[in-house]
Amino acid sequence: MRRQVTIDGNEATTYVAYRTNEVMTIYPITPSSTMGELADAWQAVGEKNLWGTVPLVQEMQSEGGAAGAVHGALQAGALTTTFTASQGLLLMIPNMFKIAGELTSTVFHVAARCIATHALSIFGDHSDIMAARSTGWAILFSDSVQEAMDFALISQSATLRARVPFIHAFDGFRTSHEVRKIEELTIDDIRAMIPQEQIHAHRSRALSPDRPVMRGSAQNPDVFFQAREACNSYYSAVPGIVEEEMNKFAAITGRQYHLFDYFGAPDAQKVIILMGSGAETVEETSAILNEAGDSTGVVVGRLFRPFSVEHLLKALPASVRSIAVLDRTKEPGAVGEPMYQDVITAISEGLSAGTAPFTSMPKVIGGRYGLSSKEFTPAMVKAIYDELGKAKPINHFSVGITDDVTHLSLPVDATFSIEPPDVVRAIFWGLGSDGTVGANKNSIKIIGEETPNYAQGYFVYDSKKSGSMTVSHLRFGPRPIRSPYLIQSSNFVAVHQYEFLDRYPVLDTAAEGAIVLLNSPFDKDSVWATLPRPIQQIVIDRKLKLFVIDALEVARKTGMGGRINGIMQTCFFALSNVMPRDEAIERIKYAIKKSYGKRGEKVVQQNYRAVDETLENLYEVTTPFQITSDRELTASALVGASDFVRNVTAEIIAGRGDNLPVSAMPVDGTFPTGTAAWEKRNIAVDVPVWEEDLCIQCGKCVLVCPHSVIRAKVATPAALENAPEGFKTAPAKWREFGDSRYTLQVAVEDCTGCTLCVEVCPAKDKSHAGRKALNMAPQRPLRETGARDWDYFLGLKDIESSSQLIRFNTIKNAQLLQPLFEFSGACSGCGETPYIKLVTQLFGDRTVIANATGCSSIYGGNLPTTPYTRNSAGRGPAWANSLFEDNAEFGLGIRISLDMQTEFANQLLASQRDTVGAELADSILNANQSDDAGIAAQRERIESLKKALTARDTPEARDLLALVDLLARKTVWIIGGDGWAYDIGYGGLDHVLASGKKVKVLVLDTEVYSNTGGQASKSTSRGAVAKFAAGGKASAKKDLGMMAMAYRNVYVAQIAVGADDAQTLKAIREAEAYDGPAIVIAYSHCIAHGIDMSKGLSQQKLAVDSGAWMLYRYDPRRAEEGKNPLQIDSKAGSIPLADYLYSEMRYQMLRQSNPDAAAVLLEFAREDVANRWQEYSTKAAPWPEPAAAQ
């Protein structure tokens, strides 16, 4: 008897991969990271594979490294695999050619994901798989979670027989992250499929000095070609082998697959051919259309490479008249996308050879769908079948978008829906922080594993790391659910946050008579009057049943804080009747025990209490449903916004991005900056309020604010004459500003409520020690006045960095500078963003940023908006993200490009010296641009030059005009996290630092891969628990700074703003000023540390005080003065290391899960710290005076 399990595609795949391999080399990349994490977690607890050994899971520094290690492990005979996606797969391609060329059995499991082109996208399509199709690997595609498990096994058994390596692919997110009830293969099933003699054969081909051979030779024109053809028979055999393995699998499990499976009418005239999760949607829709009298069918491709013409032709019905081949990828410039081309070729060959089931060429059209996880719905399928029925269907069409430029998109009837009536279709709108998704995953498990019902869950998240919204789509029903698309028509809608009613179309999918569950601070009698008018209208029109609970109050009473998940889950079971109430509550409690039991009884009891107190607080709203409200849904005012922001950005913010046509989008991925200011997310419950009488105007709050929502300016009394009533100011505590006034303002609508500003504020009320110059207060009552004051504040003049009035070498002064990085979607309390903001304050108007992929590229560049912005002169950081692995090289390229063009501009100016005016030309050519004043003066001269050149209008003048802005100094900052700097990009970073070029590197060191969910990097400190280091990292943290210092001509600094903000400012300014390469390594507290983020700055201080994080600056300029370039800016541990480590969950959890290992690693960690101090202290010893040296 096989178990029914509810798991996602990643787990289904890893279940088989883990059991059928001995070595796994891994590297995190979305959406495949989970597979490596599961493998690592299982090996950490000693889970065994088919042969009774615990597989070895090895994290590598990149996917390129993972592929190299796979190659080596295979050459040495171990059964080896890896997991990857997208750019990761691309990095593996060089090795993949080799592995295939050497006919080596292995399977790479790929959660297929979009490749970055005009933009990065973490979502699913087949562009990565298609990019790898020429490597010589077999490609087997799964359509669903069940198939992901099944095909992981079939590909493994087939590769061992065929010797051709396999990519086992499935759709990223849609399959990798969809949770479904499936039948789990037993160990016996797996064993029966894995041929022992083939494993022996695999091992016998391994490199061994006991039977030495050589592989990887270099060959010449005489034999290479023949040798390349020598593998042909192996490829010819693959389709037959896969077919046999599928048949064998069917005999064992009852699930029969074919290389191409046909579903639909036996006499279908219209057929769609495709691969991946969309196939289920087509199957479902085709069946419904056929029931209604249509004649449609679908061919589901499984084995894409080697492409079997014979099997495709066999699958097609002889009746077919028109075929649409769907590709989930785009290949610009090609005749058509890959699958389309293969099908055309196959049919053509079949007709020529007489093996086709028909005698004349059917109409074959190709189409693209679902790029970057774009929804692929039954309505779109119907649109394709409708198109196939036309005399002249559009070829190379797209579906799911509106192409108003090349007019290739198919019209879709959005009202077409095939949701079956006997399926519970529930949508839950929640916040990331309220636990909605976690509870829904539990609900799916309860229903899927404790009842005969089938279950499916898919979860949609926005791109923000703070205040993020989640939408859960859950289906439950008596038959297997095969609907891999979002719920189109829901009979249950839960709105877990009342505020969503005003902001999102939460009831748009509600079917007539659906149940709506609302978490509301208003009770059953008063809530109706509080609803926005459009919501009331939908409730009335669709005869919805409305239930309310004040879940936050129940959570508060039961000690659950803001986690309302269990409460809302209980309400769902009570209202949806998926199972009897009492049984549901019993099951929920069982799930609580299972999920949280090991975290302690207190946690379990607290959750139980919340569940127990839920139902008595759940009420149906019975007040008469009549329109009583005139409140419309919230829309941003967008005063002064550009057309692009108004027509594009605002639509994406509002959740209507799917409706934007092709013409709305930039053709090359170029977007305006300064757009985050339009979001006004209003996510903070509490915001800081300034007490001007207490403030000492130190600027620390402005410095540490991760979202640039708290800012200071100094304005003359005249400038403040029209200030709104209540606009707070205080006499400016600067001698230089005379009688001007200081004002500190908070962008209450952009604040995330992290409280770092309050934490850092040093000013306390001497009569009330608990009151500071900044105190948190509820945001809602402050919203309107706060927004008004903020708008006025923005209109006050910013001090310019070229100002001669004050120097910007202190925090107090520097924090008057305008940040050109604001309102990012980073985590509330983020430890990285204050550093980026500071760089933009100091140098933003002349900076080009090369940004490695990671957290900083997501909060820096994930649509809908970017936090990078411009000053009043229109200048600001120009920002680009190339890849994860190449960021240093990318930045170097920008640097040398700017240098080259500047050189050319100088040359052009010198050659036109006499015509533009010798004095002007010389002043530009000889300008001192070592500081901001010099740069400002140069910009003014350039303006004069522009006028002179414009007036001349000669070809030479136009040449110079095109480059003239480069005559003002430009800075290149290369920004990325430790995953980039220490691991995947280290080789490039090392090379770039060695180049001697004037690039500035900012490493935002969180000591872990933060963006992909906390995997260990080489920056992770010893003893910290991270994914891929579940047992605590056993090796010491890499000393990146020391490695950079080895070059002697690189400026190196290590900083931590929470420990010493003055040193942070000094280091960043020195790095910028240094006439050569510079690297600044910045301690960045992170949510992945398991800390209270509001105490992030204190954690930084603990790290420094314990000696774990040293502050230092290595300035090669000092050597020229006969001084030691290295200066240590912090003191050796003034607190015990353990006091720091065990204040963070990343260390503490090892003490709780494996205290013996924690004790050992703590000792090693102490040694690490002591040794590092010894090394640095020795290296920083003062150099002897020249005389003394003699």
Partner 1 sequence: MDLTTQYMGLELKHPVLASASPLSKTLAGIKRLEDGGASAIVLLSLFEEQLAHDSLALDYFLSVGTDSYNEALSYFPEASSYEVGPDKYLDLISGAKSNCTVPIIASLNGISRGGWTDYATLIEQAGADGIELNMYYLPTNTSITGAEIEQRYLDTLSDVLAAVKIPVAIKLSPYFSSTANIASQMAREGARGLVLFNRFYQPDFDLEKLEVVPSLELSRSYDMRLPLHWAAILYGHVPVDMAITSGVHTHLDVLKCMMAGASVVEIASELLHNGPGRAQEIVDAMASWMAEFEYESVRQMQGSMSQIKCPDPSAFERANYMKVLQSFQTAAIR
Report in angstroms how near the CB of residue 190 gets to partner 1 at its nearest.
23
Q: Which of 717, 1155, 1174, 1175 binds partner 1 (CB under 8 A)?
A: 1155
Q: Which stretch binds partner 1 (CB under 8 A): 404-412, 430-438, 571-579, 619-627?
A: 430-438
> How many CB atoms neighbour CB 245 within 10 A?
24
> Residues 367, 327: contact at Cβ < 8 Å?
yes
Helical (H) or strand (E) element with 287? helix 278-291
Report the half-sphere exposure of 289 (CA within 13 A, side-chain side).
29
Residue closer to partner 1 (CB basis): 605 or 944? 605
CA–CA distance, 98 with 132 (Å, rounded to integer)? 13
Which one-letter amino acid corresponds to residue 454?
A: Y
Report in angstroms how near the CB of residue 1154 gets to partner 1 at its nearest.
7
Q: Does 44 bind partner 1 (CB under 8 A)?
A: yes
Report in angstroms how near the CB of residue 78 gets to partner 1 at its nearest.
24
Alpha helices, H only, 421-526: 436-450, 500-503
Those residues whose C-beta lies under 8 Å from the C-beta of residue 1184, and which sit 6 or more positions away, are none
Residues 435-464 touching partner 1, rule: CB under 8 A, are 435-438, 441, 459, 461, 463-464
Report the SS3 class of residue 1027: strand
Two tokens, residue 541: 């029109």
Long-range CB contact pairs, 594-597, < 8 A, 24+ = 595/438, 595/442
Q: Does 465 bind partner 1 (CB under 8 A)?
A: yes
Two tokens, residue 199: 């494993």
Query: Active-site residues: which are they?
Result: 30, 63, 113, 1011
Residue closer to partner 1 (CB basis): 151 or 980? 980
Report the half-sphere exposure of 626 (CA within 13 A, side-chain side).
3
Report in angstroms how near the CB of residue 1059 gets to partner 1 at its nearest.
16
Q: Does 228 bind partner 1 (CB under 8 A)?
A: no
CA–CA distance, 706 with 824 (Å, rounded to integer)? 8
Q: Does 496 bind partner 1 (CB under 8 A)?
A: no
Report in angstroms how near the CB of residue 171 gets to partner 1 at its nearest.
14
Q: Which of 118, 215, 598, 1131 binds partner 1 (CB under 8 A)?
A: 598
Report the SS3 class of residue 447: helix
Report in angstroms how near the CB of residue 41 gets to partner 1 at its nearest.
5
> Residues 1098, 1164: contact at Cβ < 8 Å?
no
Residue closer to partner 1 (CB basis): 270 or 1085? 1085
Q: Does 1152 bind partner 1 (CB under 8 A)?
A: yes
Q: Which of 94, 240, 420, 432 binds partner 1 (CB under 8 A)?
A: 432
Q: Does 1113 bind partner 1 (CB under 8 A)?
A: no
Q: Which stretch binds partner 1 (CB under 8 A): 225-233, 713-721, 795-803, 1025-1033?
A: 1025-1033
Q: Which residue has the tokens 């001698």?
A: 735
Strands 424-431 and 490-495 come out as parallel
Q: Does 1042 bind partner 1 (CB under 8 A)?
A: no
Residues 104-123 touching partner 1, rule: CB under 8 A, are 122
Report in angstroms how near the CB of residue 826 gets to partner 1 at its nearest.
11
Q: Does 1095 bind partner 1 (CB under 8 A)?
A: no
Q: Does 541 bind partner 1 (CB under 8 A)?
A: no
Report in angstroms how near the CB of residue 1014 gets to partner 1 at its nearest.
4
CA–CA distance, 631 with 1159 (Å, rounded to integer)? 60
Two tokens, residue 986: 């280290």
Q: Which of 16, 495, 1030, 1036 binds partner 1 (CB under 8 A)?
A: 1030
Q: Which of 6, 156, 851, 1012 binds partner 1 (CB under 8 A)?
A: 1012
Two tokens, residue 841: 């304050």
Q: Does 680 bind partner 1 (CB under 8 A)?
A: no
Give burial (CB, 10 Å; 0-12/13-18/19+) of 505. Answer: middle
> How many CB atoms neighbour CB 77 within 10 A?
18
Report in angstroms how near the CB of residue 184 gets to partner 1 at its nearest.
20
Give burial (CB, 10 Å; 0-12/13-18/19+) of 773. Answer: buried
Which one-letter amino acid corresponds to residue 1024?
A: A
CA–CA distance, 105 with 1029 (Å, rounded to integer)? 28
Q: Which stretch binds partner 1 (CB under 8 A): 32-40, 182-190, 400-408, 993-1001?
A: 32-40
Q: Which of 267, 413, 601, 784 binds partner 1 (CB under 8 A)?
A: 601
Task: Count Cβ neighbours within 10 Å for each residue of 884-896 and write b for 16 or more, e otherwise.
Answer: bbbbbbbbbbbbe
DSSP 945-1003: HHHHHHHH--HHHHHHHHHGGGGS--EEEEEEEHIIIIIITHHHHHHHHHTT---EEEE
Those residues whose C-beta lies under 8 Å from the C-beta of residue 605, and which sit 6 or more positions away, are none
Q: Which stretch binds partner 1 (CB under 8 A): 330-338, 648-656, 764-772, 1072-1080?
A: 764-772
Q: Does 1143 bind partner 1 (CB under 8 A)?
A: no
Report in angstroms how near the CB of residue 449 gets to partner 1 at its nearest.
19
Smallest Cα–Cα separation from 106: which of 77, 145, 130? 77
Q: Which of 22, 40, 691, 789 binds partner 1 (CB under 8 A)?
A: 40
Residue closer to partner 1 (CB basis): 738 or 1155? 1155
Q: Does 557 bind partner 1 (CB under 8 A)?
A: no
Q: Does 56 bind partner 1 (CB under 8 A)?
A: no
Q: Which of 952, 1090, 1127, 1142 binds partner 1 (CB under 8 A)?
A: 1090
Smallest Cα–Cα separation from 662: which of 921, 839, 860, 398? 398
Q: Does 1084 bind partner 1 (CB under 8 A)?
A: no
Residue closer to partner 1 (CB basis): 514 or 1025? 1025
Report in angstroms how near the CB of residue 556 gets to partner 1 at its nearest.
15
Residue closer to partner 1 (CB basis): 534 or 1090? 1090
Q: How many residues make contact with partner 1 (CB under 8 A)?
A: 63
CA dist list (Å): 1078 to 704, 1035, 1075, 1113: 23, 27, 9, 11
Residue closer to partner 1 (CB basis): 803 or 1094? 1094
Which one-letter amino acid corresponds to residue 508?
A: D
Q: Does 245 bind partner 1 (CB under 8 A)?
A: no
Q: Does 1033 bind partner 1 (CB under 8 A)?
A: no
Helix 932-952 and helix 918-925: axis angle, to 10°? 140
CA–CA distance, 1006 with 1014 (Å, rounded to integer)? 9
Q: Which of 1026, 1097, 1102, 1108 binds partner 1 (CB under 8 A)?
A: 1026
Q: Which residues bind partner 1 (CB under 8 A)?
A: 30-31, 33-34, 37, 40-41, 44-45, 122, 173, 177, 431-433, 435-438, 441, 459, 461, 463-465, 468, 470, 563, 596, 598-603, 606, 764, 766, 769, 827, 858, 1010-1014, 1025-1027, 1030, 1087-1088, 1090-1091, 1145-1146, 1148-1149, 1151-1155
